[in-house]
Amino acid sequence: MPTARTGQNGLGRREVAPDGDDALAVLRQDHETVTGLLEDYEAAQDRMRKAAIADRISRELTIHSTIEAEVFFPRVREAFEDDDNMEQLLAAAELEHDNVMTLIDRLDDALDGGGPDAQTDERIRFLIECVDRHVEIQEGDLFPQIEQAELDLAEIGEALRTRREELQDELA
């Protein structure tokens, strides 16, 4: 599990550094970061602060979903090409990604239209449920099986970090 390191992300939330450099540590770090931002949004009272946090949530989830879809899922699928159980787990994770990205699109539309309101708060609550399911599927079911496979998780982790950096530059 990642360990928290002191350091602020500009929104009052600690940054999380992975215990290792492998792919699973990178994705766990993303999960922790997004979960923390969702908690921050729920706790925030000021609409301006909520808007800043919602923007960061959108950005983090877009990057996370993209690096998983482009790098992680294809490599895992290739390593487990004849494993029906793994295919079901990957399909469930991808479905959660689709749900999350649909919510992000709606959230972005709401933020462009004048900032967060009660409807935005409701979308965030639903997003929390989707992210919780996503984390549960991955960390509870998918990751333990991947840890037992012969995958170069360090190399995949490097590819995830490289793609993340590219996306961060694109979205800046």
Q: What angle do CA 8, 10, 15 make, to 5 degrees?
A: 35
The top-level CATH class assigned to 3-171 is mainly alpha
Integer Cα distance of 68 and 63 in angstroms: 9
Integer Cα distance of 6 and 15 in angstroms: 7
Closest CA to 64 of 100, 36, 38: 100
Is residue 19 predicted with pLDDT exceeding 60? no
pLDDT category, 20, cuts 50, 70, 90? low
* Residue-averaged pLDDT of the chain: 85
How long is the chain?
172
**What does pTM read for this prediction?**
0.84
pLDDT category, 18, cuts 50, 70, 90? very low
Average pLDDT for 101-111: 83
- Host H or E run for residue 68: none
Is residue 32 predicted with pLDDT exceeding 90? yes
**Per mean pLDDT, which of 29-38, 109-118, 123-132 is the most reliable?**
29-38
Is residue 15 predicted with pLDDT exceeding 80? no
pLDDT digits (tens, 9 = 90+) for 43-64: 999 888 988 999 999 999 999 9
Alpha-carbon torsion 146, 150, 154, 155, what sign?
negative
**How high is the pLDDT of residue 70?**
96
pLDDT category, 86, cuts 50, 70, 90? very high
